[in-house]
């Protein structure tokens, strides 16, 4: 299951159950990104969405409509915890098989080369030095590629964190403030229902997503292959 399919399957399920054509909000995309980054399996998210709508459909007409994936988040957390508990007894052999995720060195090499190409086109002058460092690390990783997929994913994650720090540090401060105000406005209706950590994590995800889109910086983890 790749990056595109994870998002598409969730969007299709939510829109189908919603019963109306609906564009997902920036908050919805941030939630999906957070679930994906945490490794919440797609089937858990889809089953939770179906469960929430099954309950909602039994309520009297006129009940508040479900306008966002935000209203499914608690059910997803519950079902994910239950699923995690059920995995505790799995054998190391089974886990090792699943960790490969169907990856191949050829596919990973292509993923890294595509990322390098995209980074080479980034035109944010203040980030030139960090972009160069990121490309150098990716080239080195590609040259020394081995079959330890967990190690590869960890190295890609380190490069991605380098780029995230660079975006937050070097972006035009005035434009960054504008984006922060926009995101705060989008989250205002949900802030009262979120604890401080959840709010901050969601805010940061939405901000980084906007910055990556504006700069053309790709996601690097193997999940985005």
pLDDT at 90: 57
Last residue of a domain, one of 41, 57, 89: 89
Range with lowest mean pLDDT among 60-74, 82-96, 98-112, 154-168: 82-96
CA–CA dist 32, 181 (Å, integer): 22
Residues 24 and 82 in one domain: yes
Residues 55 and 120 in one domain: no
Residues 175 and 202 in one domain: yes
In a domain, 80, yes or no: yes
Residues 210 and 121 in one domain: yes
**Whether pLDDT at 221 is above 90:** no
Predicted model pTM: 0.73
In a domain, 95, yes or no: no
3-state secondary structure of 134: helix
CA–CA dist 117, 125 (Å, integer): 17
Using pLDDT thresholds of 50, 70 and 90, give the confidence band for residue 183. very high
Range with lowest mean pLDDT among 29-33, 91-95, 138-142: 91-95
Residues 132 and 201 in one domain: yes
Residues 141, 155: contact at Cβ < 8 Å? yes
CA–CA dist 187, 68 (Å, integer): 12
In a domain, 14, yes or no: yes
Question: Could you tell me the two tokens for 55?
Answer: 């309950």
In a domain, 97, yes or no: no
**Whether pLDDT at 130 is above 70:** yes
Residues 204, 167: contact at Cβ < 8 Å? no
Residue 74: give the domain boundaries.
3-89
- When pLDDT is averaged across residues 42-63 and rounded to a whole number, the result is 87
- When pLDDT is averaged across residues 13-27 and rounded to a whole number, the result is 82
Residues 76 and 118 in one domain: no
What percentage of the chain reaches a pLDDT higher than 70? 89
Residues 117 and 204 in one domain: yes
Residues 79 and 160 in one domain: no
pLDDT at 25: 84
Residues 151, 107: contact at Cβ < 8 Å? no
Question: Could you tell me the two tokens for 19?
Answer: 């019963």
Residue 157: closest CA among 171, 174, 137: 137
Number of domains in the chain: 2
Residues 201 and 141 in one domain: yes
CA–CA dist 141, 74 (Å, integer): 38
C-alpha angle 73-74-75 in degrees, rounded to nearest 5: 95
Using pLDDT thresholds of 50, 70 and 90, give the confidence band for residue 3. low
Residues 138 and 183 in one domain: yes
Residues 130 and 61 in one domain: no
Residue with tokens 């590609």: 142
H or E stretch including 212? Answer: helix 196-215
In a domain, 45, yes or no: yes
**Whether pLDDT at 92 is above 70:** no
Residues 111 and 219 in one domain: yes
User: Cα Rg for the chain, rounded, in angstroms?
Assistant: 19
Range with lowest mean pLDDT among 41-45, 190-194, 210-214: 190-194
Last residue of a domain, one of 43, 65, 89: 89
Q: Longest C-alpha distance within the chain, in Å?
A: 61
In a domain, 42, yes or no: yes
């Amino acid at each position: 299951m790749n990056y595109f399919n994870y998002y598409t399957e969730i969007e299709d399920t939510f829109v189908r159950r919603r019963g109306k054509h609906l564009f997902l909000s920036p908050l919805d995309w941030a939630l999906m990104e957070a679930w994906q980054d945490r490794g919440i399996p797609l089937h858990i998210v889809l089953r939770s969405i179906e469960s929430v709508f099954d309950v909602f459909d039994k309520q009297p007409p006129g009940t508040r409509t479900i306008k966002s994936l935000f209203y499914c988040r608690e059910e997803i957390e519950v079902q994910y915890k239950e699923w995690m508990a059920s995995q505790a007894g799995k054998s190391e052999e089974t886990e090792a098989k699943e960790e490969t995720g169907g990856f191949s060195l050829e596919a990973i090499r292509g993923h890294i080369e595509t990322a390098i190409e995209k980074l080479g086109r980034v035109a944010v002058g203040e980030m030139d030095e960090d972009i160069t460092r990121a490309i150098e690390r990716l080239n080195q990783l590609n040259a020394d590629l081995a079959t330890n997929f967990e190690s590869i994913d960890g190295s890609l994650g380190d490069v991605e964190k380098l780029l995230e720090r660079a975006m937050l540090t070097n972006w035009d401060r005035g434009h960054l403030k504008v984006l922060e105000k926009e995101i705060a406005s989008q989250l205002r209706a949900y802030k009262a229902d979120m604890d401080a950590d959840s709010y901050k994590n969601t805010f940061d995800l939405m901000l980084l997503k906007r910055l990556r889109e504006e700069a053309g910086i790709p996601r690097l983890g193997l999940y985005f292959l």
